[in-house]
Chains A and B, each alone.
Chain A
Amino acid sequence: MASIDTGGDSGGGHGNKPGVKKAKKLSTKVDMTPMVDLGFLLITFFIFTTTTALPTAMKLYLPKDVDKPEEQNKVKESGAFTILLGANDNVYYYEGLDPTQLKATNFKGIRDEILRKKKSTNPEDLVMIIKPSEEATYKNTVDILDEMTIAEIKRYAMVDISPDEYSLVKATEAANK
């Protein structure tokens, strides 16, 4: 048990003179067990309540809605890369501006495709267009935005899927079943 040295038996310099009554020395030992118990209880409590991994924030800048088509940014065909997010974590993509060139992949495969496109394209022309479909989940969107950060793509945009593309995605999904 934790104890405090009272110095009782050693170093008592003065001898026992007769007539001088020696005060009875009480032990100064304190039983620390309850305090320690409580200490550990609190430790366990704080360990369990503490949130170790604080959430991070992902910045998302959306373009302003532009009504006039002439004010919208034009995308060069050689640099365009469109990613469509389908149901059940499926990813579809096509290069250029022709949606019929649609290819199916998944979140593992899309990274290589993005990096390949990044390598083979003039950085100034490269634009990634992300189009989540109605079945895509929030996780899919965050994941694909994350892929942009991972591949260090500077220019990307998140826009709505067009009905043509949506039906193409649906058709591909049905064919791959």
Chain B
Amino acid sequence: MPSVKIKKHAPENDMTPMVDLAFLILAFFMLATKFKPEDAADVKIPSSVSSDMVPDKDVFTVSVDKDGRAYVAMDNPEFRQVLIENLNKTRNLGLGNREMKAFIDAPSVGVPFAQLKSLLSMTPEQQKAVKQPGIPVNDSLGGELYYWVRDALVAYSGRKLNLCIKADNNTKYPAYKNVLNAFKKNDQNKFLLITAPEDAPVGTPLFVTRQKQVEKK
């Protein structure tokens, strides 16, 4: 009897849809990813019900870690250059072009003016390794932070600069009150506190208002 030969197929399955999907997801994540800017301060931010987004440009951020050390960061390199040139002149920092260039590339800075030159003459790797002592803000005038804020405002010269404060959960009140003072002495009374998002608790007036807004839409 002639036996029927069954044609053997290799157990292949078509991967094309899976690959398509995988690359779609990859493309999504590539576009959606926004890399965290490096920060000298280790700050765990509290959460709030606020729904406003942090503006993504023209931001001047003062970070305060849990021991009250203050760090400044500014996002726009153009204005960072103006800021450091101003500071160099008004505070006699004695920075050369190399150090100023280093400041423009540095993510955030948290040293007293006296140590700024030595910090900026290090390579970025060395800067990361060194523990920055924070900008002095101890007195009621805002300490050296006052000058940072002043010259940042000068650099922006009337254009809108978003003043952000990013403090750690466990920062004590006097530490960030001094930071607020540094801003207030510059006649700045509007701030953005950077927080993590959180939902409004159920049953509260805010919750009711937000429900209504959703229903309207």
Question: Which residues of A line the B interface, CB within 8 A?
Answer: 1-3, 32, 35-36, 39-40, 42-43, 46-47, 49-51, 53-65, 85, 111, 115, 118, 132-143, 145-146, 149-152, 160
Shortest A33–chain B CB gap in Å is 9
A132 to B167, CA, bound (A): 15
B contact set with A: CB distance below 8 Å = 12, 14-16, 18-19, 22-23, 25-26, 29-30, 32-36, 45-46, 48-55, 64, 164-165, 167-177, 180, 184, 187, 189-198, 200-201, 204-207, 209
> DSSP class of A's interface residues: helix, strand, loop or mixed?
mixed
Residues on B with C-beta less than 8 A from A139 are 46, 169-170
A43 touches B26 (CB 8 A): yes
Establish whether residues A51 and B50, one from each chain, have CB atoms under 8 Å apart when the complex forms: no
A141 cross-chain contacts in B, Cβ below 8 A: 173, 176
When distances are taken between beta carbons in the complex, the residues of chain A under 8 Å from B33 are 46, 49-51
- Partner pick for A134 among B168, B173, B198, CB 8 A cutoff: B173
Q: Please state if B172 and A40 are interface contacts (CB–CB under 8 Å).
A: no
- Other A-B pairs, 6, CB within 8 Å; known A2-B14, A138-B172, A142-B195: A50-B33, A60-B192, A62-B189, A65-B184, A138-B64, A149-B206
When the two chains form their complex, are residues A135 and B172 in contact, meaning their CB atoms are under 8 A apart? Answer: yes
Give Cα A134 to B32, complex, Å. 41
Q: Find out whether the CB atom of A36 lies under 8 angstroms from the CB atom of B15.
A: yes
- A57 touching B192, Cβ below 8 Å: yes
A-B contact pairs, 7 of them (CB 8 A): A46-B30, A50-B32, A56-B53, A57-B164, A138-B172, A150-B204, A160-B177
* A134 x B172 contact (CB < 8 A): yes
| A58 contact from B48, B171, B189, Cβ within 8 A | B48
Q: Is the CB of B172 within 8 A of A137?
A: yes
Decide if B26 touches A2 in the complex (CB within 8 Å): no
* Closest chain B residue, CB of each to CB of A29: B12
Q: Is the interface of B mostly helix, strand, loop or mixed?
A: mixed
Residues of chain B lying within 8 A (CB to CB) of residue A118: 205
- Cα separation A115 to B164 with both chains bound (whole Å): 30
Q: Which of A2, A32, A59, A134 contacts B174 (CB 8 A)?
A: A134
Q: Within the complex, which residue of B15, B167, B192, B209 is in contact with A32, where a contact is CB–CB below 8 Å?
A: B15
A138 x B206 contact (CB < 8 A): no
For A49, the chain B residues whose CB sits under 8 A away are 33, 35
Q: Tell me if A57 and B26 are in contact (CB < 8 A).
A: no
Contacts of A160 in B (CB 8 A): 177
B196 touches A53 (CB 8 A): yes
| CB <8 Å contact, A61 and B173 | no
Closest to A142 in B: B46
Complex Cα gap A135–B48 (Å): 21
Are B193 and A150 within 8 A (Cβ)?
no
Beta-carbon nearest neighbor of A49 in chain B: B33
In the complex, what distance in Å separates the CA atom of A4 from the CA atom of B88? Answer: 66
Cβ contact within 8 Å between B173 and A43: no
CB distance from A43 to the nearest CB of B (A): 5
Q: Which residues of A contact B173 (CB under 8 A)?
A: 85, 132-138, 140-141
B212 to chain A minimum Cβ distance, whole angstroms, is 12
For the complex formed, measure the closest distance between the CB of B151 and the CB atoms of chain A, giving whole angstroms: 21
Chain B residue nearest to A64 in the complex (CB): B189
A-chain residues with CB within 8 Å of residue B49 when the two chains form the complex: 146, 149-150
The 7 closest A-B pairs by CB, nearest first: A46-B29, A57-B192, A138-B171, A139-B169, A58-B50, A139-B46, A138-B167
Q: Which of B14, B165, B172, B197 contacts A53 (CB 8 A)?
A: B197
Taking a contact as CB atoms under 8 Å apart, the answer to whether A43 and B29 are in contact is yes
